[in-house]
Structures are given as structure tokens and as C-alpha cells.
Amino acid sequence: MTDVAISRRGLRVLKACFGLLLLFLYAPILIMAVFSFNDSITVTFPLSGFTLRWYREFLSNGELMVALRASAIVAATSSAIAVALGISAAVALVRKRFFGKGAVSGLLLAPLVIPYLILGISLLILFNAAAIPLSILTIATGHVVISVPYTVLVLVPRLERVSVSLEEAARDLGASGPRTFRSVTFPLILPAVISAFLVAFTLSFDEVVVASFLAGDQVTFPVYLYSQLRFPTRLPQVIALAVAVMAVSGFVVIGAEIGRRIADRRLATQLASAGTPETRGIP
């Protein structure tokens, strides 16, 4: 790739900057990964030797595993609900004409800019006032509020690329509204639905502020981690767990992204040939 606007030297500077950015982003994670295998209770250089002790330790830490399970449940429920709400919102925003659409879309996206601290406090007040006991369900509710705007942002552009006439064609051929959604709209936005789900899931999985406000007896994994930082002896196994979680989520996200790209490319060629038909002869 040659860009006429940038000189060769400028390009070198840019590349160096990019390298620094990568270092800045990933060096902490790398160091953490290194320390997770370090055979010492103190997290300092020099390294003392290789061990898998910390990994074994967290696996046998019952409290931690329970917190992890709670997080998985919260993340799964909250992201499923957020995606369902996100789909309805996206369909309304993209397909329907109604009064105050701009205001509605603004309101939908507002949680993006509301500090989590404030969201957490206000939800806590709300649940108290409504006499709803705090549990992992209240955490999940809080996470739905946080993730809906993200799911909307992921779903809207995709839905915009699915031509309305495809839905009209289905209707025309005898499909009811729900049937049209099931047979045509949903399969065509599926990659975005999966992306939205993953975004919402990861968002919920490592969210600590809202969760700590809304947690009842059972805390989630990030809240537990945060509380354990006070005990220096627990630190190495916390690090090991963090690395394990990161590795798993990394694999999941990369896998999903690859899948989405493949599906996207296929749909793009399909839509391109359906939208602006080529004018080859009939063989």
C-alpha cells in the first residue's frame, strides 16, 4: 500500500507509533501471563521459576469457582435479553416510521455516556424502593441496561443492509409478519446477532461497578477478584485465573469474528449480486 500523502520517513514514524501503541496495550497482559507461571508469592522481578501451582489453586478455590459460575449466568441471561431488546429496537429504528424517532434512538443510546457509578446507584435506589431483593438477577438487570445500546449499535447497520424488498417479497409470497422475520430477516442478520451477543456477554462478564452495587449474597467474578486484591497471598492465583479467562474469551471472540467475516463476505457477495445485478448474458 502506498499513500502519496505520507513521505517514507513519515511512514516510518507512524509504524513506530503503532508499535508503541501495541506495546502499551498488550505489555501489561503479557507481564501478567508471565507472572501467572512465576513460582513466588510476590509479584516482582526477578522471576523465581516455572509453576502451575496458581492455576491448580484457583481451580480448587470453591468461592472463586462459584463467583465464576454466577458471572457466567449473569452474562448469559443479560446478553440474551439485551440482544432480544436490541433486535426489537433495531427493527423499529430501521424499518418503521414513527414520531420522535430521533429522540427514541437518543434515549436508547444514552446509557453509553451515563457513568456506571451513577447507573449502579440509581438502580440500587430503584430496587430498594420497589422492595426487590438483590441477587444475581438484579445484577443481570443492570447489565441489560448497559448492553442494550451496544447491541443496537451492532445490529442497526446490518439490518440497514438487508433490503426491505426482501421482507416485502416474503410477505407477498404469503408469509405473515412473524414468519417473515423468522425465515428471512433473522437468518440475514444472524452474524450481527452473534456479534451483539458476544459484545454484551463480555461487557457483562467483566463489569464490576454496577455489579458491586447490585450484588446480593452472591458476588460475580470481577467483584470477587476486586475484593481479593486486598489479600497478597491470593494475588498469584487471581492473576492465573485472569489469564485463563482472557485466553478463553480471546479464543471465543477470535473464533466468532472469523465466523462473522466468512458469513459477512458470503452475504456481501449475495447482496451485491442481488442488489446491483450484473448484466451477463444467459448461458
184, 200, 209, 210: which one binds other proteins (CB under 8 A) = 184
Cβ within 8 Å of residue 209, ≥6 positions away: 116, 117, 120
Q: Residue 265 corresponds to which amino acid?
A: R
Based on the shown chain and the rule CB under 8 A, indicate whether residue 166 belongs to the binding site for other proteins. Answer: yes
Query: Taking contact as CB under 8 A, which single stretch among the options 1-9, 12-20, 115-123, 184-192 is the one that binds other proteins?
Result: 184-192
Choice between 62 and 281, CB closer to other proteins: 281
Q: From the CB of 179, what's the least distance to other proteins, in Å?
A: 7
Query: 53 vs 161, which CB is nearer to other proteins?
Result: 161
Q: Which of residues 247-266 bind other proteins (CB under 8 A)?
A: 266
60 lies in the binding site for other proteins (CB under 8 A): no
Q: Which of 22, 21, 54 is nearest to 37 (CA)?
A: 54
* Cα distance between residue 129 and residue 108, in whole Å: 24
- State in angstroms the smallest separation of the CB of 186 from other proteins: 10
Count the residues of the shown chain that bind other proteins, applying the rule CB under 8 A: 34
The secondary structure of 156-182 as a DSSP string is HHHHHHS-HHHHHHHHHTT--HHHHII
Give buried/exposed letters for 109-132 (b at 16+ CB in 10 A, else e).
eebeeeebeebbeebbeebeeeee
Closest CA to 224 of 213, 212, 237: 212
Selected binder of other proteins within 158, 176, 248, 257 (CB under 8 A): 176
| Residues from 121 through 150 that contact other proteins (CB under 8 A) | none
Region class of 49: left (phi > 0), else alpha (psi between -120 and 50), else beta:
left
Q: Out of 2, 44, 60, 279, name the contact with other proteins by CB under 8 A.
A: 279
CB nearer to other proteins: pick between 15 and 101: 101
Of 82 and 267, nearer to other proteins (C-beta) is 267
| Chain contacts with other proteins (rule: CB under 8 A) | 163, 165-166, 168-176, 179, 183-184, 187-188, 266-267, 269-283
